[in-house]
Amino acid sequence: MIPHLFKLIWNKKKSHALLIVEIWASFLVLFGLATLIVINVGNYREPLGFTYENVWAIGLRNNQDTVSIADKQQRILQRLKAYPEVESVSRMSGNFPFSANQMNNGIEYNKRKAHPDFYVTDEDFAKVLDIPMTAGSWYRNVDSVGKYKPIVINKKLKEALFSDENPLGKVLSDKFRVVGVVDKFKAKGEFMSDKPAIFELVKVNETWNDTMLMRVKPGTDAVFEAKIVKDIASMVTGWSVEVDYLADSRKNQHNLVLVPVIIALVVCTFLLINVALGLFGVLNLSIAKRRGEIGLRRAMGATGSGISTQFIGEIWVLATFAMLIGLLFAIQFPLLNVFDVKAGVYVTAIIIAVLIIYAIVTLCALFPSRQAALIQPAVALHEE
């Protein structure tokens, strides 16, 4: 029966061309959306590599004040450490976790190149964010005296530059020496892909690294926030102070990822509803036009359920034609490694898109095909 259906649809391909294009377009849109979702779900399932609860980021801006900035920053740092509500404090660059800022640069080892994100931090950074080390140790302020800047890298960068080689003690770009390795560091939240990262020791006199990352004791609230803002303002007149809770910043980052996905999902849903309604209408019309054929098939030995199955089979064949054309496009993505996304992601997205298309066309065909099954053969033959 299947070759018969293929033949039937193939012989009617001109009249089905529009439907095939509709299903083909839906398949490609679904493939794109499914890829986006699979990538994000895959990222979400990977750990962040640090903890963010009870961590606050205090952004300091010296504004018009240009006198002894580094000293003032150090005084603020020491003051923050002195609060009993504070567990630990670290000074770092403006690209603190979940912020909108990003810094990256090229780096090289033995002709292998990478383009990691750079985070300039002090010795307490790992402690504040509770980052576990997988090799070596986090740098200390005293390490700054050496010829090379001490750096900690993440596993992704280690794989990119060293493969199976031990990275500890190795010099990168004739400038940095690796002292430690951490597993992951997804600074933009769970939906971020695990990208190469470097943590570089901040110099005491580098005044532009003016964010204080602070872990407070659980239960510490906005009253304390108001207190430190007031205290800092009294220490450094004319500076502005901004406090971000990492938990809130994380939500903002999630929204940045989720909103476009949700919009795409809504658009795609409307598109699919349109396609489904179109299919439904075409099938209904097709059954009305093919009552004679239905009667004939019943006379030749088809059962009511056989007729129903035939109509569902026809729409499956039609969907298969459309998706085969779509697959020619979709399969290029894993083959050409487009957007540097793993082939498995594209393959999963293709499978999801195929299953959804089959589910939609089946749903659309169910009612008309049941109607077809109910047609009395004698009546259908007589009408013809």
Report H helices in the chain.
Answer: 2-11, 17-45, 69-82, 125-129, 155-162, 222-235, 246-289, 291-300, 304-330, 332-336, 343-374, 377-383
Cβ proximity to another protein, 261 vs 381, nearer residue: 381
Cβ proximity to another protein, 186 vs 297, nearer residue: 297
Closest approach of another protein to the CB of residue 17, in Å: 14
End-to-end CA, the chain:
25
Length reported for the chain? 384
Closest approach of another protein to the CB of residue 273, in Å: 30
Closest approach of another protein to the CB of residue 290, in Å: 9
Q: Which of 23, 15, 81, 18 is nearest to 326 (CA)?
A: 23
Closest approach of another protein to the CB of residue 4, in Å: 6
Cβ proximity to another protein, 200 vs 293, nearer residue: 293
- What's phi and psi for 191, nearest 5 deg? -80, -5
Closest approach of another protein to the CB of residue 9, in Å: 9
Closest approach of another protein to the CB of residue 3, in Å: 7
CA distance 281 to 274: 11
Beta bridge partners of 211: 59, 92
Cβ proximity to another protein, 331 vs 381, nearer residue: 381
Cβ pair 79, 230 in contact under 8 A: no
Report CA Rg, the chain: 31
Closest approach of another protein to the CB of residue 27, in Å: 25
Cβ proximity to another protein, 78 vs 376, nearer residue: 376
Cβ proximity to another protein, 15 vs 255, nearer residue: 15
* Site residues for another protein per CB under 8 A: 1, 3-4, 7-8, 11-12, 292-293, 295-306, 376-378, 381-382, 384
Cβ proximity to another protein, 219 vs 301, nearer residue: 301
Residue 172 CB coordination number (10 Å): 24
DSSP code string of 187-227:
TT-TTS----EEEEEPPTT-TT--EEEEEEPTT--HHHHHH
Closest approach of another protein to the CB of residue 2, in Å: 10
Indicate the Cα dihedral angle 240, 56, 194, 351, nearest 10°: -110
3-state secondary structure of 94: coil
Cβ proximity to another protein, 226 vs 378, nearer residue: 378
Which of the 8 DSSP states describes residue 142?
G
Strands 133-136 and 176-182 turn out to be: antiparallel
Closest approach of another protein to the CB of residue 7, in Å: 6
Cβ proximity to another protein, 6 vs 148, nearer residue: 6
